[in-house]
Structures are given as structure tokens and as C-alpha cells.
Chains A and B, each alone.
Chain A
């Protein structure tokens, strides 16, 4: 299946007219002052040269393909519909195979392979189900709420990025040390230390459960047995590992009788919906974002929603929600249904949304990612909103970073938290 994807991509690339429209939407090209070799069109040229053996895989070449957030903005813009994000993924695969990553990126790859298998990309498997300890869930349903290790453990990711930003000169050592957190004892300690940061991300999970209960949706939660979706393996170019992992995940789902997944993190939802069908024969699991469920309820039955205080809200469409899950209208249906909330549309929205600067770039090319975040937050803030809302843990991380860099007063609140806050007043 993977080869089929690769062959389709090569065939489509023959139609590329080198028009450069992809240049106009790439957030990382913009953050790199438009330098051709780190933009989608430049990457296309390098990709073809790599597979024609005209250029050798080197760490410098790797930089071009890893400075891509795999956000698919270029795919939407391309008149031929060529997904240049896929170019990055397949080039990374070849570069990894040729052992041409620099030591730091190699450590990241090794860590991902190990941690995804263990069930948590940040190595916090021991505490990933902690958020649900005192929460009432219906269970015994073939519909499963997939909580996502990125949501449960994003505080670890945030800490890692922060530390790497401050002590980038020691990135190899820091990456080695990050592996320590995976030991259950240390994981527990870390979890206490990170409690405040974790609450920020985990709150949306708690609220998702509240919302689903309020809407009488029956669902189960797999708890500590919930696997990692493996999205990071795919985007990092660890395609063989991803193919194997995806099959295992499917097996787990089947053993548990899962027929339908409800996600909060659109990265997991996006990879289940857009990538798993190419890697898992017979993939038959329906995937929905919680905001689709809420929008359906609003359209079918109407729900009274009212924000405690009037607020202007701008919604940032996460790439994975808009371009991988094809969910663009539902967040608007939901936000427009909330009284006291004035919804403003930012430049670059829906399928044309601009990446927050994440997509893995935040871990490796921190400066570029931060500039991309600042660019996106500047756009989001153009209409002077009180709140920037979205629903992806990586977007949350990067938008907070952008807000901090620009010293803005605007708040970041997850859309699920906004809905829950609006519920409690009615």
C-alpha cells in the first residue's frame, strides 16, 4: 500500500508545472524568508533528484524535508492536487534508510519508534490514563473515545520544546535525558511537577467526556490500553514502522470490538481517517471528531449555549481537522450556536488554513517554527479577538508560543472548553 502511495505520487509529480503556487501558502517557506530549497516546489525538485540519485541523502538534505509541517496547505493550493507533504514523508523515509540524519534527529527517530510502541509518544505511558481516574464514563460501547497521548502528555512535549529552545546547544544530551521520563517511577514524579501544564491540555479531555455524556452518547475509553495512533511515525518518515504499528493498532481495536472512534485530537483523527486506509487492509473503523458530534446534536435537537461573558472568538482550523479529516463547517455551526459569542473568520481559514508552526518542526527547527507561529497568531489576532480557539494540542502549544512572543492579551481556549463553559450557564 505504501508503495502504491509512492508510485501514485511519482506519477502525479509528472504533471507538476513548477508554477510555484505552493510557495504562496507554505508557512515554513514564509518563516524562512522564501528560500526556495525549503519550500514545497524546491522540495519537489530535491525529491526527484534524490530518487534519480542526482543528489545524495545528507543531513543538509534532510533539513529541507524536515522543515515541513506536513500540513498539506500546498496540496490544497496545487492546481494539479499534488500532495507535496507526501514528498517530504517519502524523502524522509529514504533519508532514514540511508542513515543520513544528524545525531539529534536520529535520537528523535529512535525515541519515536520506542515510545509509540509503548503507547505514548512522550514516554509518559504510565500516567496517560490518569486524567480519567475520577470520571464517569458509560463504557461497554463499540464507540470509543480516543483520548490521544498528545492530549494527555502534551505537557511533556511542551517542556521538551521549552528546554530545547533554551539549551539548543545541548540538544543531543537533552534528547537522551528525555528518555528517562519513560521509567514509570520518574514518569509519576514528572507528572506531579507538570500538573499545571498538564491540566491545561487534559481539561479538554475531561470536558469532551462531559459533553458526550450530556449529549447521551454511549462510549468506552480504553484507558492505559489505548494505543498511540503513530501519526508521528508517519510524518517523520518511519514508514515501515508506521505500517507495522498501524496493523497492530487495528488488531487492538478489533479485539476490543471498536467500530467507531471519537477523537478530540485531530492529528490522531486525521491519521486514522487519511492514512490508515492505505496501510491497513480492510480498515473499516469510522472516525469522528467530537465537534462533529456536537454540531450534529445542535442541528438535530438544538442545544442552549451561552458564554458567561460576551467574547469575540476567532477559530483556527487545525490542518489535521480541515485537510485530513475534512471537517470545516462543524466548528462554525457550534460556535455560531453559542450566545454571547461573536465569531470572526481569520485570513486563511477552513481548507486554506495556515499551519500553526507545529507538525514536528517545533522540535527540530525551533526558530523557524516559532516564526511560523508568530505569523499565524498575527493573522488570527488581526480582527482583535478576545479568544483564539482551536482543538489540537500542537496548535495550542504553538499558538500560546505565538501569543507570548507577540505579548498579546488574547487568550487561547479549546473549542470543547468553550462549549462546556457555555453549557454550564444554561
Chain B
């Protein structure tokens, strides 16, 4: 690293918080996408918004790329320093600044781990509804920058619906506050919602005020098997048409059921799909809803409908869901490559069928886990990433799947984001005019294109 850069950064954050030796920075060359790599010029570990402001201001003057990073748990290469530059590791900024039960809000620093926040909020009987699968590891800054979703999105929405206000360092070093700590806000353009999901391309989120909810009094889970995944997909729409909005509807296909069965040495019914419906609310309401859900499932052709009301019963019916990702690679001997698309709910049956056909055509084994209630489909490809030919085939299958999803009115990303992985496909979905608008927005905030360049096709 250039001596002047090193000296300046050390002056800002202190000697120990600038990492530049290969032994220190190699772990920052990748994220959970695994396939994308890039070596940063250095890694900086700031501990305040003011320090970040100084770093970014300096980087902007020097035209050095800046890559904000949380726990690096995203699947799309969003924090890979593909053009080198300064990685700003925000995990050291991990204070929960305030939990305010009277206002139903909390304010956190970017490096707070989602699960840690969840456990602290639970002490007040509160929770923040978005529940990304990476909860144990991911940081709130990353959750917000990637607009993470989760299982409860069908009833509660995604991150974007639960952020009230942000503190952001702009690429010129200026610090701004977007939105307000109020539940309503109508003061001009909604910059908060713009920054949520901006993947670090517009500025660095250092603090966030979040909207909270009391933890529901009760939750029941109902599980059911189907002899075809299309029937299971159709059952999801029928539940809505019966006037029920569950908290979650999770669907696993035969690939997952078989892998878990082999992995755990446990016999499950020989069926094509397994659906778990979760309903929450007041105890009395949950019982009524559960009865209705069971009835709709049976009318939709489900068999072996079971209701779980205790933690032990939850764990039992959740086994296929919780063990799926572990079981697959151990059974297939290949790695899980998890993809993320989203379709209108009534297109789920068709989407399941077509995704299987596409993967079959390319000879790529696929298993499906779907947050079916919001149309979000995770197609898990089993791929030997060491084999370039197989990897290329998997990429072709992925791209064809995404193009098909766009064609049926879906989107190439329900919750994982764009990053490097889907940058080329983004323009196919949004079209050249919208893409140019996005580029124009980026230029307003970041004329020198220092903020996480190369992500989202920007």
C-alpha cells in the first residue's frame, strides 16, 4: 500500500486498525458467494461514524474504492473488493444504542449481529420482524444494505418495511440522517428506502433506527405432505383465498426430504413436497386460524397434516427444514449453491416445474426450499465448484432460470440481492431506462464511483 495512504488511515483509526499484510487481509477477499474473489489494498476497522467520514473523504480525494463490509454473509459477492480498494470492516461497531419500548423502536450500530439484537429485544418482549437465515452471523448494517428478507416476509414484509431512519456517511465524507424516528414521515423523497438494499453503492450506513413489534402471544405450526410440488404451491394460494395470512409458509421438495432422510437415517413419507405453515397472534386467534389452515390443506390434497404447538413439536416438524442444507452436500458429495428468485404466488406451481426441467436439461441436481408464502424460491444447486465445466453448466442453468422468472413476471432476487452475481441480469429485468436512472442516482451520490464499484452493475 502506498505509504501516504497507510499513514493517513493509521492516523484516523490507529495503528492496530489498519490491516495490510496478506495474512491479515486474505479472509476479507471473499464472502458467502465463495466464487467471487478480490484482494483489497487494505482493511480498516473504524469504531465511530466520524472515523468513517474521515476515511471516506480521504478515499474520495484519492479516488480509492471503498467497500463497506459487515459479516460477509451475502451470497452474491456484494462485499468482494473486486477492484481492490479499502475494505471498511464495520463489525467492531457493535453497540445497541437504545431500545425504546415506549416508542417501539431501537437504534443500533451497523456491526450489531442480528441474533444478538433479537435476544436483547426479547428481554423487553419485543422483536424486529425480518428474520434472515443468516441471523446468527449477519450484521444489521449488512441486513439493511442488502434488504434482507426471511421467512416472515409474507406477513411482515422485508427489511425495507422496518427501518425508520439511518445515519449514513456519503462518499464525500458528509454525514447525513435519513427519515426520522417516527412511524410516519412524509418529508420529501424517501431516502431511507433508497439506502435500504443499495448494497453499499451510495454510502455507508453506520447507524439505524428500527421499528419494533411485541412478540406475538402464540404461534402454531402445521405441516403437510403433498404428492406433487405443484399441488403444494397451489395450496399456498388457496390459504390466502380462504382469508388467512400466516406468519410463514415454508416449502421443501423431494430433494430435501430424501437428503434429510438419508442423512439422519430417518424415514419420511415418500412424497414430492413438504409444507410448513406458521400462524401467529393471540392464542385464541391462532387456534381458529390453525383449524382453517388444516382444512384448506386437506382440501388441497395434503396428507399427514400435523399441528405443532410446543417447542419440542416445532423442532420435530421443522427437522426437514433445519437439516436440509446440512444433509444435501453430505449426501450428494457436492457443494450447495443457493439461488434466489421470486415469483407471483399463483405462478409457484409452474415455476417449481420449470426450474426442475431447466436443471434437468443441464444435468445439475437441484433441491428446492421456498418461502412459498411470498413466492420466494431458493433453488439449491449441487455443484462441484472445483470442476470448471460443471460450474459453467450450473451458471447456464442459473441464467436460464432467471430469464424464465423475468418472463413470468417474477424477479431475479427476492432477498439475496444483486452484487456481482446478478449484475448482468439486472438490466434484463429492469430494462435500459430504469438501469440508466439507477446509474444517474448513483452519480448524484457518488460522482467518482468510489462506493463499492462494480456491484449492481454500477
Contact = CB atoms under 8 A, between A and B. Distances in A.
Given A34-B94, A80-B326, A20 B27 contact: no
A52 to B, nearest CB: 11
A63 B19 CA distance: 14
Contact of A64 (B23, B31, B73, B330): B23
A14 B386 contact: yes
B27 A19 contact: no
A36 B27 contact: yes
Interface string A252-269: 000000000000000000
A20 B137 contact: yes
Contacts of B111: 34
A51 interface: no
Residue among A36, A45, A63, A80 facing the most chain B CB atoms (10 A cut-off) = A36
Given A34-B111, A60-B21, 5 more contacts: A35-B89, A35-B91, A42-B27, A55-B26, A79-B326
B136 interface: yes
Interface in B301-325: 325
A61 B397 CA distance: 40
A383 B22 CA distance: 43
A80 B126 CA distance: 32
Interface string A27-53: 000000111110101100110010000
A19 B22 contact: no
A296 interface: no
A19 B73 contact: yes
A15 B335 contact: yes
B29 interface: yes
Contacts of A35: 19, 45, 89, 91-92
A55 B22 contact: yes
A258 B342 CA distance: 63
Nearest to A61: B23
B417 interface: no
Contact of A36 (B91, B336, B338): B91
Nearest to A46: B26
Closest 4 CB pairs of A and B: A42-B27, A20-B137, A34-B91, A15-B329
Contact of A23 (B19, B29, B71, B89): B71
B28 interface: yes
Given A79-B325, A80-B326, A45 B27 contact: yes
A80 B329 contact: yes
B26 A18 contact: no
B12 interface: no
A85 to B, nearest CB: 17
A20 B71 contact: yes
B134 interface: yes
Interface string B9-50: 000000000010111111111111010000000000100000
A57 to B, nearest CB: 10
B232 interface: no
B29 A45 contact: yes
A283 interface: no
A58 interface: yes
Contacts of A55: 22-23, 26
Contacts of B23: 37, 46, 55, 58, 60-61, 63-64
A24 interface: yes
Interface in A64-123: 64, 77, 79-81
A21 interface: yes
A17 B30 CA distance: 11
A41 B27 contact: yes
12 contacts: A18-B31, A18-B72, A19-B32, A20-B71, A20-B134, A21-B134, A24-B113, A24-B137, A34-B94, A35-B91, A36-B89, A45-B29
Nearest to A36: B27
Interface residues of B, number: 37
Contact of A17 (B21, B29, B32, B71): B32
A81 B24 CA distance: 26
B435 interface: no
Contact of A80 (B34, B89, B330): B330
A45 B26 CA distance: 7
Nearest to B94: A34
Given A34-B91, A36-B91, A17 B22 contact: no
Contacts of B32: 17-20
A41 B34 CA distance: 12
A32 B113 CA distance: 15
Contacts of B24: 37, 60
Nearest to B323: A79
B26 A49 contact: yes
A371 B91 CA distance: 18
Contacts of A58: 23
Residue among B71, B138, B338 facing the most chain A CB atoms (10 A cut-off) = B71
Contacts of B22: 55
Contacts of A49: 26
B339 to A, nearest CB: 13
B113 A18 contact: no
Given A15-B335, A80-B326, A21 B136 contact: yes
B358 interface: no
B386 to A, nearest CB: 7
B387 to A, nearest CB: 12
Contacts of B28: 36-37
B406 interface: no
A116 to B, nearest CB: 29
A58 B24 CA distance: 12
Contacts of A63: 23
Contact of B30 (A18, A37, A64): A18
A33 B137 CA distance: 14
Contact of B92 (A34, A37, A60, A77): A34
B75 to A, nearest CB: 9
A45 B30 contact: yes
Contacts of A14: 335, 386
Interface string B155-198: 00000000000000000000000000000000000000000000
B423 interface: no
B115 interface: yes
A218 to B, nearest CB: 39
A33 B89 CA distance: 11
Residue among A20, A21, A42, A77 facing the most chain B CB atoms (10 A cut-off) = A20
A37 B17 CA distance: 13
A59 to B, nearest CB: 9
Contact of A19 (B21, B30, B134, B330): B134
A26 to B, nearest CB: 11
